[in-house]
Amino acid sequence: MFKALKEKLFSVRQRLETTIEEQKLDSDLTIHSAPSQGSPEPSALSESPAPTPPPRESEREKKAPGFAQKVVSLVRDREFIIAAKDIEDSLSDLEIGLLESDVAFSATDAILTRVREDLTGSKRKIGTSVDAVITNALSDALLSVLGEGVNILDFIASREKPVKILFTGVNGTGKTTSVAKVAHYLTNHGLTVAIGAGDTFRAGAIEQIDVHGERLGLKVIQHQEGSDPSAVLFDTVQYAKAHNIDIVLGDTAGRFHNRVNLMNQLAKIRRVIQPDLIVYVDEAVAGNDAVIRAEEFSKSVGMDAVMLTKVDMDPKGGAAISIAHAVGKPLIFIGTGQGYDDIMPFEPKAIVADLLAGEA
């Protein structure tokens, strides 16, 4: 995933490494260029001292360490400082690379600020691995933007059953299929699931979720097209309570934040079923548009977590890096294909480790 972004990060790491290695070399050379403290020249009036025989090998071995050994010891103990001016060109490359990868400006700025703070000004041992210094700085910066992940299984275990998860988002982003994928993921982890066909607005939506339910062997509660989605989801919750179902997954109609009637409908759904988790669904290939839509949706309706679809089709990775930072909510799942198994819990540390693992 995110091949283009991985390549840009790799290139920046190489340039930073070259710059910092040069600074380390300059620090080393200051040791070698220091004047040696030899014996003073004898006076011209003094008599030449009688020659002394060279020491035996055993005596030379007992002498203090030679100059080369002293240099090694000094280099180990010396420190060097990474100057801000020396890495600005590399950080400029990083900024361009992030923006070209559709990372939102606010997230890009946050990453650059964190890397600059981590790398510059502080003293570092000359023997420190430069690659480790750079990788740690980039890793910390990316993680600060991505924020903490959410373990959905731990979340469910901490809540009273049935746990109610509501899926919202704009049209055409794969929301209904995402509901089916999450249902499949949860049942694979030993949990029971009922699905509420709350998208009564879009033609064919009820049939679509019903087909998924049949394939997965799950109960789908549905009313006729055009009915009140609040009533459908309320009935789903009641069914889950009566049959000791662990989780209710509620599908809803795709909507834009400026569609007042659909937004009011969603507000009513929230009042009626009081969901434990609202998951906003959008597609990674939308790039910065996905970030903007998520921000507007968060202001209008609110959300608790984000799921990105079509991540396998997005070489840039900007939406995945930006969206959690933009809305202040965690990414919970990413969709990586068309099959029910093509879903991954979003784990920030694993994603960042993959991004910095090396050249794509």
Same domain for 213 and 111? no
Same domain for 125 and 8? yes
Same domain for 90 and 186? no
Residue pLDDT, tens place only, 9-24? 888 888 888 877 776 6
By mean pLDDT, which of 1-15, 25-39, 120-134, 332-346 is the weakest?
25-39
| Average pLDDT of the segment spanning 43-71 | 47
What pLDDT, on a 0 to 100 scale, did the predictor assign at position 53? 57
CATH of the domain at 74: 1.20.120.140
Same domain for 189 and 82? no
In terms of residue numbers, what domain contains 317?
A: 152-355
Domain count, the chain: 2
| Average pLDDT of the segment spanning 172-197 | 95
Look at residue 265 and tell me if it is in a domain. yes
Q: Which of 131, 146, 161 is the last residue of a domain?
A: 146
pLDDT above 50: residue 74 = no
Question: What average pLDDT does the structure give for the chain?
Answer: 82
pLDDT above 50: residue 240 = yes
**Cβ–Cβ under 8 Å, residues 307 and 334:** yes
Question: Residue 163 — pLDDT band, cuts 50, 70, 90?
Answer: very high
Look at residue 54 and tell me if it is in a domain. no
Same domain for 279 and 138? no
3-state secondary structure of 258: coil
Look at residue 139 and tell me if it is in a domain. yes
Highest mean pLDDT among 32-46, 51-65, 137-151, 180-194: 180-194
Same domain for 92 and 190? no
By mean pLDDT, which of 118-127, 148-157, 241-250, 306-315 is the weakest?
118-127
Look at residue 41 and tell me if it is in a domain. no
Look at residue 52 and tell me if it is in a domain. no
What pLDDT, on a 0 to 100 scale, did the predictor assign at position 123? 63
Look at residue 7 and tell me if it is in a domain. yes
Same domain for 346 and 198? yes
Tokens of 295: 């921000």
What pLDDT, on a 0 to 100 scale, did the predictor assign at position 228? 92
Tokens of 152: 């959905």
Same domain for 305 and 227? yes
Chain Cα centroid distance, residue 36: 52
Specify the pTM. Answer: 0.79
Same domain for 323 and 206? yes
Q: Which of 127, 146, 165 is the last residue of a domain?
A: 146
Residue pLDDT, tens place only, 284-316? 888 888 888 888 888 877 899 999 999 888 888
By mean pLDDT, which of 25-34, 115-124, 215-224, 237-246 is the weakest?
25-34
Same domain for 229 and 167? yes
Residue pLDDT, tens place only, 336-357? 998 999 999 999 999 999 999 8
Same domain for 212 and 76? no
Q: Which of 146, 180, 212 is the last residue of a domain?
A: 146
302: alpha, beta or left, given left = phi > 0 and alpha = psi -120 to 50?
A: left
CATH of the domain at 288: 3.40.50.300
| Average pLDDT of the segment spanning 38-52 | 46
Look at residue 259 and tell me if it is in a domain. yes
pLDDT above 90: residue 321 = no
In angstroms, rounded to a whole number, what is the distance separating the alpha carbons of residues 309 and 206?
20
In angstroms, rounded to a whole number, what is the distance separating the alpha carbons of residues 166 and 19?
50
In the 8-state DSSP scheme, what is residue 225? T
**CA atoms within a 13 Å half-sphere pointing along the CA-CB vector of 52:** 4
Same domain for 123 and 171? no
Share of the chain above pLDDT 70, in %: 79
pLDDT above 70: residue 122 = no
In the 8-state DSSP scheme, what is residue 311? G
Chain Cα centroid distance, residue 257: 26
3-state secondary structure of 304: coil
Look at residue 212 and tell me if it is in a domain. yes
